[in-house]
Amino acid sequence: DAKTTQPPSMDCAEGRAANLPCNHSTISGNEYVYWYRQIHSQGPQYIIHGLKNNETNEMASLIITEDRKSSTLILPHATLRDTAVYYCIVRVVNTGTASKLTFGTGTRLQVTL
Amino acid sequence: DGGITQSPKYLFRKEGQNVTLSCEQNLNHDAMYWYRQDPGQGLRLIYYSQIVNDFQKGDIAEGYSVSREKKESFPLTVTSAQKNPTAFYLCASSLGGPFEAFFGQGTRLTVV
């Protein structure tokens, strides 16, 4: 699976959009981009994933560049409860196989008043 | 409610003792996983299972063992051979393929 690079930490004011970048310059054509977050001392929570197209769900939006070498997770209106470590993961997906995920150290997002 | 249950939340053991961590899921997922997390680090894969009675080593399997006798259960045994067993252990399950993994709330193991 391709490696990812994320900034170690970011701050965001409550109510503003949080834009978390991820670089995955060695991504191959059959690798998806996944985002998870982990609130302190809890299990990671799935946020969103995508292959080529931008994706949006009730939690966030995922913007993938046309060359797929980087992506941005957008939390449109950050709240204090969004304070967490955010992990960007890329992995090959084969139907029926286990969803092995390789976690880096992620980005620690601090949302402030 | 559907989900993944890990128990206990905190576990203390003496050095040299084997200890088994429980993971149960009622999501009807075929695949299950065990991860280890050390302070300030990401998660590392210990073992995973794609189907009952089958499991594969992950990146750091040494000193650990697992079994998968039932679809719902995937217990992890931390043996005395694991040199640094104190860590936060997380269990997950998924449908496999592109589907996301769901994680339990973790067991924090402390070996003294």
pLDDT tens digits along A60-102: 999 999 999 999 999 999 999 999 999 999 987 776 666 678 8
Mean pLDDT of A27-31: 88
CB contact under 8 A, B48 and A96: no
Out of B4, B31, B105, the one facing A99 most closely (by C-beta) is: B31
Using CA atoms, how far residue A93 sits from A67, A84, A99, in Å, is 19, 26, 7
Q: How far apart are CA A25 and CA A28, in angstroms?
A: 9
CA distance A82 to chain B (A): 17
On chain B, the residues whose CB falls within 8 A of the CB of A49 are 98, 100
- Residue type at A89 in one-letter notation: I
Question: pLDDT band at B100, cuts 50/70/90?
Answer: confident
- Residues on A contacting B at a C-beta cutoff of 8 Å: 32, 34, 41-46, 49, 87, 93-106
Q: What is the three-class DSSP state of A98?
A: coil
% of chain B surpassing 90 pLDDT:
83
Out of B41, B97, B101, the one facing A46 most closely (by C-beta) is: B101
CB contact under 8 A, A49 and B88: no
On chain B, the residues whose CB falls within 8 A of the CB of A43 are 4, 90, 92, 103-106
pLDDT at A46: 94
B54, pLDDT greater than 70: yes
pLDDT at B98: 74
pLDDT at B46: 96
The count of C-alpha atoms lying within 13 angstroms of the C-alpha of B17, restricted to the half-sphere facing its C-beta, is 13
Instruction: Compute the CA torsion angle A7, A11, A13, A17 (nearest 10 deg).
Output: 0
Residue whose structure tokens are 């088994």 = B20
